[in-house]
Amino acid sequence: MAYGLLNGKRGLIFGALDEQSIAWKVALQAKAEGARFTLSNAPVAMRMGKIQELGEQCNAEVIPADATNEEDLKALLERSVELLGGPLDFVLHSIGMSPNVRKGREYTNLKYDWFQKTLDISALSFHKVMQTAMDMDALAEHGSVVGLSYIAAQRTFPSYNDMAEAKSMLESIARSFGYHYGKKRKVRVNTISQSPTITTAGSGIDGFDIFFEFANRMSPLGNAPAEDCSGLCMFLFSDLSRSVTMQNLYNDGGFSAVGVSEEVMDLMGEAIQARKKGSAEPA
Ligand SMILES: NC(=O)c1ccc[n+]([C@@H]2O[C@H](COP(=O)([O-])OP(=O)(O)OC[C@H]3O[C@@H](n4cnc5c(N)ncnc54)[C@H](O)[C@@H]3O)[C@@H](O)[C@H]2O)c1
């Protein structure tokens, strides 16, 4: 069901690769809510992904840009403002990648040039998008910028690797830039900390299926699907959240507030029973 929350709004959505991408769902819902926007992704994703299909569905121009490259970002923002006929009301940064994760390097054996790449793609690019936009005055007053995070920014999930540092930095940038952009143009900057979600980036994490299941059993509402993340984005892009800024909002079915759930206790009970049974058996 659509509410016309984004009627007349202009936007830019980064990071839709295929139908599973969180940004893909956000684009479809933003279209249904009445927004007009451009779509962007890294040049390599243009070849690998299906973003052109999404562009056709949303009647949105697809503009390639490497989000770590300031020249690309400037050209993307210029073109978006020109095409949409004015400054942007919302931006979604749905970008993440770690070469260390992708190539299976453990956290205690990182390649540092890859670590820097992780930070550049997954966190600094958030700053670069906003700094470029501020410099060009490409965002409208009361605009809204949203980045996507994960609870590994606050707590350790060993296989999340150097992406944990990237998410901590992303959330910190939201607070710091949110202060300056709020003062200057009343632009709001927030992050959404999303449940594990089955996407290309998500599934690249070692043991993802296990911690997907663990989080699902820990959360009273179960894992939040990408569609619910998209719903929260609609709220954050809309005028309903005009005074919400510099926040990290958990869209996680309650995971972040739970110590342990009955389901996980039951599983541990079964493990103890199995261990007792094993030790009772003759060697
Ligand atoms: N999937 C999850 O479990 C989960 C949970 C919490 C947060 N997130 C975050 O959500 C965001 C979106 O990820 P997703 O799960 O939809 O996966 P996804 O793989 O569909 O999206 C990641 C996107 O980042 C893009 N990207 C990578 N390098 C880029 C660059 N240099 N310039 C521009 N774009 C680049 C990719 O092309 C891709 O479209 C990421 O920030 C991710 O960390 C995901």
> Edge-to-edge strands of the sheet including 188-194?
62-64, 36-41, 10-14, 88-93, 139-149, 188-194, 248-251
pLDDT band of 193, cuts 50, 70, 90: very high
pLDDT at 49: 74
Nearest CA to ligand 1 atom 20: 21
pLDDT at 38: 98
What does DSSP say about strands 62-64 and 36-41: parallel, antiparallel, or unpaired?
Answer: parallel
**If you measure from the C-alpha of residue 266 to the centroid of ligand 1, how many angstroms do you get, rounded to a whole number?**
34
Index of the ligand 1 atom closest to the CA of residue 149: 7
Q: Is the CB of 68 under 6 A from ligand 1?
A: yes
Report whether 13 contacts 234 (CB < 8 A): no
pLDDT at 202: 79
Q: Is the CB of 80 under 6 A from ligand 1?
A: no
Please write the tens of the pLDDT for every residue from 26-53. Answer: 999 999 999 999 999 999 998 887 999 9
**If you measure from the C-alpha of residue 262 to the centroid of ligand 1, how many angstroms do you get, rounded to a whole number?**
32
Whether the pLDDT of residue 192 is over 60: the answer is yes
For a substitution probing ligand 1, which of 63, 69, 73, 95 has the most ligand atoms within 8 Å of its CB? Answer: 95
Whether the pLDDT of residue 64 is over 60: the answer is yes
pLDDT at 76: 98
pLDDT at 282: 63
pLDDT band of 205, cuts 50, 70, 90: confident
What does DSSP say about strands 10-14 and 88-93: parallel, antiparallel, or unpaired?
Answer: parallel
The Cα–Cα gap between 239 and 141 comes to 11
Report whether 229 contacts 185 (CB < 8 A): no
**If you measure from the C-alpha of residue 200 to the centroid of ligand 1, how many angstroms do you get, rounded to a whole number?**
8
The Cα–Cα gap between 255 and 146 comes to 21
DSSP assignment string, 19-75: TTSHHHHHHHHHHHTT-EEEEEE-HHHHHHS-HHHHHHHHT--EEE--TT-HHHHHH
Query: If one looks up domain 10-280 in CATH, what number appears?
Result: 3.40.50.720
Give the chain's mean pLDDT.
96
3-state secondary structure of 200: helix
pLDDT at 283: 54
The predicted model scores a pTM of 0.97
Report whether 39 contacts 13 (CB < 8 A): yes
Domain boundaries defined on the chain: 10-280
Q: Is the CB of 248 under 6 A from ligand 1?
A: no
Q: Is the CB of 96 under 6 A from ligand 1?
A: yes
Index of the ligand 1 atom closest to the CA of residue 45: 37
Ranking 111-120, 188-197, 274-283 by mean pLDDT, the lowest is: 274-283
pLDDT at 263: 96
Q: Is the CB of 153 under 6 A from ligand 1?
A: no
Q: Is the CB of 191 under 6 A from ligand 1?
A: no
Q: Is the CB of 21 under 6 A from ligand 1?
A: yes
Task: Please provide the distance, in angstroms rounded to a whole number, between the alpha carbons at the two ends of the chain.
Answer: 62
Please write the tens of the pLDDT for every residue from 148-186. Answer: 999 999 999 999 999 999 999 999 999 999 999 999 999
pLDDT at 270: 94
Report whether 265 contacts 217 (CB < 8 A): no
